[in-house]
Structure formats: C-alpha cells, structure tokens
C-alpha cells in the first residue's frame, strides 16, 4: 500500500460523528407513515437542505443484479411516491420486468434516513402530461434528445441532437411529451425511519402494511 493510500485509510477509519439532533419515540408516531414522511420532508425543505427531494432508487434486473441511481421525488401522498423518467432507461426496463423497488432518502444535516419498499407502476398519461408541461423548455427538449442509458457516439452528438430540437422549436412552443417518458409511483408496503442517536444507538422505526391496509409499527435494534 502506498503512503498516500495508507494515510487515506487511516483517515477514513478514524472518521466519527456523534448524532445528537433528534429522537424518534413510539409515543410521538402518527398512525400513518406518510404523515411522518411529510413532516420530515417539510423540515428538510424548511432548513434549505440541498436537493431535499433527491432519493436513491434501487431496482433489480432480469440478471438478479441490483442497480441504484438518484432520482427526484415530484409528488407524494398516502397512495405513494412519484418520480418521472425515460421508460426505456435501465431503470424503466428493470421495472418493467420486476416492479419491486426500494427508495432511500438521506438528509445528512438532520441525521435522518428514510427507506421505502413497495411495488411500482406507471402513473396515468394525464398525470405525466401535466408534469411534463411544467418542466422548463430545455428539460422538455432534453427528454426527446437523450436516449437515456444507451450509448451515444460523443458529447458532441448529444449536443447536436439537442440543438436540432431547439431549431425545430425556436418559437418557444412546448413539444408534446415523448411516449417513452413519464411517471412512476411506488406504492409502499414497508417504511423505515432512521434517526441518528448518540453512541450509535440509533432509532429505527418501521411501518409494515397489513393485509387490511393498516400499518404495523415496530422498533428495530440499531
């Protein structure tokens, strides 16, 4: 091992942070996990955390190998969590073959993590159309220009495709939503809320959906 690598290893091994910002106690829990999630997300937004709606999406392909990527939450309620993407991307293809997926939020400053597991389905065309109409013009064109997750010849080729779309839509009118682009909704079956605590004795509270639609609440050891 080189001197630099050895020094870096020691630095990483020595990294410590004591979590002191909060607690998560059973007597304070709402009956529904989406209510707790909404409160935590709102606090992350109120504290102006960077990209508070950024979440890791985990999917599994036909080869049984998991993959992750960051997507942005664009809506949530008791029915699930919504994001938008290219249906022909790697995640879209994997969700088509296996709709089981997981999401994770990590709000470092708040010392909190939220994990969600469930089944994913496409949102309605009307919902996808409504969101696409709200996107900035460049983002609308980008949805057409980018063959997401597929090889491209070069950055120049990608830029040229975008420039051609700009030329075609130089009147500023919004293009129609691409048929290969739209929204997904994960319908939660399982939530886990993690709050950092001192001495690594963190709070971990789970909500598991019962057959009757209610939620079973449990505490897990950290």
Point out the residues that are catalytic: 200
- The answer to whether 204 is a known ligand-binding residue is yes
On whether 173 is known to bind a ligand per the annotation, the reply is no
* Residue 167 annotated as binding site: no
Say whether 194 counts as a known binding-site residue: yes
Burial of residue 91 (CB within 10 Å: 0-12, 13-18, 19+) is buried
Confirm or deny that 149 is annotated as ligand binding: yes
Residue 100 near residue 116 (C-beta atoms within 8 A): no
Is 87 labelled as part of a ligand binding site?
A: no
Check whether 121 is labelled as a binding-site residue: no
- Is residue 184 annotated as involved in ligand binding? no
Sequence ranges of the binding site for FMN: 69-74, 84-85, 90-91, 148-149, 194, 204
Sequence ranges of the binding site for substrate: 16-19, 74, 131, 135, 139, 200-202
Sequence ranges of the binding site: 16-19, 69-74, 84-85, 90-91, 131, 135, 139, 148-149, 194, 200-202, 204
């Amino acid at each position: 091992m080189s001197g630099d690598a050895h020094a870096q290893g020691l630095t990483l091994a020595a990294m410590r942070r004591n979590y002191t910002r909060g607690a998560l106690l059973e007597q304070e829990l709402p009956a529904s996990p989406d209510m707790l999630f909404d409160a935590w997300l709102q606090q992350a937004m109120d504290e102006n955390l960077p990209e508070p709606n950024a979440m890791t999406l985990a999917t599994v392909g036909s080869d049984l190998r998991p993959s992750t990527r960051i997507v942005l939450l664009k809506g949530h309620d008791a029915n699930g969590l919504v994001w938008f993407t290219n249906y022909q991307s790697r995640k879209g293809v994997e969700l088509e073959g296996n709709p089981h997926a997981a999401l994770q939020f990590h709000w470092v400053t708040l010392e909190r993590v939220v994990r969600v597991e469930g089944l994913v389905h496409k949102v309605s065309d009307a919902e996808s159309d409504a969101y696409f109409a709200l996107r900035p013009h460049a983002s609308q064109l980008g949805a057409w220009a980018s063959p997401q997750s597929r090889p491209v010849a070069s950055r120049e080729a990608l830029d040229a495709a975008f420039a051609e779309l700009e030329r075609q839509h130089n009147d500023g009118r919004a293009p129609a939503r691409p048929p290969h682009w739209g929204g997904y909704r994960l319908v939660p079956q399982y939530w886990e809320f993690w709050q950092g605590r001192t001495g690594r004795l963190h709070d971990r509270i789970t909500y598991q959906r019962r057959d009757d639609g209610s939620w079973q609440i449990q505490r897990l050891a950290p």
